Amino acid sequence: MKILVTGAAGFIGMHVSLVLLARGDRVVGLDNLNDYYDPTLKEARLARLTPHPGFRFVRMDVADRAGMERLFAEEGFDRVVHLAAQAGVRYSLQNPHAYIDSNIVGFMNILEGCRHNRVGHLVYASSSSVYGGNTKMPFSEHDSVDHPVSMYAATKKANELMAHTYSHLYGLPTTGLRFFTVYGPWGRPDMALFLFTRAMLEGRPIDVFNHGRMRRDFTYIDDIVEGVVRTLDRVAEPDAGFDSDRPDPGRSQAPFRVFNIGNNNPVELMSFIEAIENALGIRAEKNLLPLQDGDVPATFADTDELDAWTGFAPATSVTDGVSRFVAWYREYYGHV
């Protein structure tokens, strides 16, 4: 198939593109290579894709309406994997406009491109952040997600609503994937694993929020990619048993689905730090701080729906995943 992967120079986008290319798909990778974090890391990821004969890179912002219209019209994509977004909960408190431009305007351009050019299936990144103020664990796609606690979360919830509208009005099959704390080699420098590893290797203390009383459903990158590709291959369908009197937020009479992709095994932040310490052979000096605005104390994914739909559930242990990240970090940055 010919597949558009947006955010192809990003953490998840690079890994997804490599798997699609390895199985013989043609990939057009789109990215704006912005400076939200170190662009040289994005360029290094891109350098792993460009040697593949089935890959072509387009440097463009998804918010570029005219450019996106041209791209869709000229390329004739079979499927779209939309991973480009302004990421980060904390940054959304400082620069909310960036989230509207990328996550709302950009997603609108993706939907319009898919609608007008007969794309067979749109798979897009949502986030565990949509669960916001929910406290019932594990988080389920059947639960209401109407109380976001950050602008980032609000834009991801909006993406799900926008996707449903296009599935309903135009029959566009859409699948939203709520990612839970993705980590692994080539990861984002603004994420805890990257920040902690760098600080510990440089002999600096690490900032531990909520005084360490955090639990996260850390999900290894290879598991995320497997979930993305499997859902891409199983096109969203209308739910014949959908009850409009008791609507299920995760499905619809339209070809629309939403799935959690998480490890279904929340880990205490202190245990996660201990895994990093063991992989590095360094004890961390911890700077204990209160919970930050927009953050939540715990995440925990119910993955039964993903398993039932694709036959897959993430299962990589934090010990294995962290060890692989640390090995990559040492090699990439030259730390021994």
Residue type, 185: P
Strand 55-59 vs strand 182-183: parallel, antiparallel, or unpaired? unpaired
DSSP string, 123-175: EEEEEGGGGTT--SSSB-TTS-----SSHHHHHHHHHHHHHHHHHHHH---EE
Counts of helices then strands in the chain (DSSP H, E):
12, 13
Q: Please tell me the distance from the alpha carbon of residue 82 to that of residue 88, in angstroms, as a whole number.
A: 17
Instruction: Please pick, among 99, 152, 166, 183, the residue that the annotation labels catalytic.
Output: 152
Residue type, 144: S
Q: Please tell me the distance from the alpha carbon of residue 122 to that of residue 81, in angstroms, as a whole number.
A: 6
What is the distance between the terminal CA atoms of the chain, rounded to a whole angstrom?
Answer: 42
At 110, give phi and psi (nearest 5°): -65, -50
* 152 noted as active-site residue: yes
285 touches 328 (CB < 8 A)? no
Tokens standing for residue 120: 């067979």
Question: Where is 75: in which H helix or E strand?
Answer: helix 65-75
- Catalytic positions: 152
